[in-house]
Amino acid sequence: MKINQIYVNLPVKDVQKTKEFWTKVGFSINEQITDEKAVCVMMNDNIQIMFLQEDYFQTFSERPVPKGDTTQVLVAIGLDSREEVDQVVNTAVANGAYQHEEPQDHGWMYQNSFWDINGHGWNVIFADPSQPRSSE
Amino acid sequence: MEINQIYVNLPVQDVQKTREFWTKLGFSVNEQFSDDNAICVIMKENHIYTMFLKEEYFKTFTNRPVAKGETTQTLLAIGVNSREEVDGMVKTAVENGGSTYSEPQDHGWMYQSAFSDLNGHQWEVMFADASQFPAE
């Protein structure tokens, strides 16, 4: 079994601010499925993140939206270089996110992270294909 | 900006049971990233992975407590290649300890069904039929 695409759906308080945030970080918006209740951020052709206004998000789940005091998901996204990783995190932080941890360089993998303006956690990684992988 | 891969990280109570569940759904496991604390399910080779982390381990990556299954922070929508694959996956999920929380929906160009997995994470399984996509 394999899937052909994924949409990660996350609740937000303010769709417009969220749209501005992710645009500044450098991603494109899929306007076809974006409106005042939801913004679709295209991470690549097969991977999209839907940020839904909390009231709207609520209609898709029987459980309440968390108040930002717990974590159910952390999303890790891969970029093409260390520079891109730092650029994304630095731009995010400059626009209201905060750095979650110090960057970690494992040689084959470089990792940095931020928590976005809605409190969702993002690990940003560069996997270096020229370096041997280790599980460390 | 485009990403090259995504890892969706979710907390689970029992890694072994989670492995059995996702294997029965038909997915392969990336053993290189799997151990007693975590299992890496390959959703689309080289691009889309879901990491299920034992709660205690997941907790080390966030400064907030793990959600107890009373709230929903994320809904994950995944695309497969036919209506039959959608129904087959949801049926297998329910037979193996998952549950449904909504009825299948057929929009013509998109068919969608959903299940809640062993750990209460919600998955929307969809088939997008490009041949029936409504004209603008």
* Chain A hits for B8, Cβ within 8 Å: 6, 8, 73, 75-76
Closest CA to A11 of A38, A36, A47: A38
One domain, residues A132 and A72: yes
* Chain A hits for B40, Cβ within 8 Å: none
Of the given ranges (A15-24, B32-41, B63-72), which has the lowest mean pLDDT?
B63-72
One domain, residues A128 and A70: yes
One domain, residues A34 and A70: no
Is there a contact between A62 and B62 if contact means CB atoms under 8 Å apart? no
pTM: 0.93
Q: What is the pLDDT of residues A75-131, one digit of tens each?
A: 999 999 999 999 999 999 999 999 988 999 999 999 999 999 999 999 999 998 888
Q: Is A59 on the interface with B (CB under 8 A)?
A: no
Question: Rounded to whole angstroms, how far apart are CA atoms B22 and B122?
Answer: 14
CA dihedral A19, A41, A120, A117 (to 10 degrees): -20
Domain boundary residue among A9, A44, A63? A63
One domain, residues A73 and A135: yes
Question: Rounded to whole angstroms, how far apart are CA atoms A75 and A85?
Answer: 14
One domain, residues A37 and A57: yes
One domain, residues A101 and A119: yes
Q: What is the CATH number of the domain that holds A132?
A: 3.10.180.10
One domain, residues A51 and A2: yes
One domain, residues A85 and A42: no
Q: How confident is the model at residue A134 (pLDDT cuts 50, 70, 90)?
A: low
Instruction: Compare all CA atoms of chain A with the CA of B9 and give the residue at the minimum distance.
Output: A74
Domain of residue A117, residue span:
66-136
CA dihedral B16, A2, B51, A116 (to 10 degrees): -150
Question: Rounded to whole angstroms, how far apart are CA atoms B133 and B112?
Answer: 14
Q: What is the pLDDT of residues A19-41, one digit of tens each?
A: 999 999 999 999 999 999 999 99
Which CA distances in Å does A67 have to A4, A119, B48? Answer: 32, 10, 28
Q: Which domains does chain B have, with CATH numbers?
A: 1-61 (3.10.180.10), 71-136 (3.10.180.10)
One domain, residues A57 and A91: no
* Chain B hits for A44, Cβ within 8 Å: 2-4
Check residue A36 and report its DSSP letter: S
The length of chain B is: 136
One domain, residues A53 and A81: no
Closest CA to A131 of A106, A113, A111, A112: A106
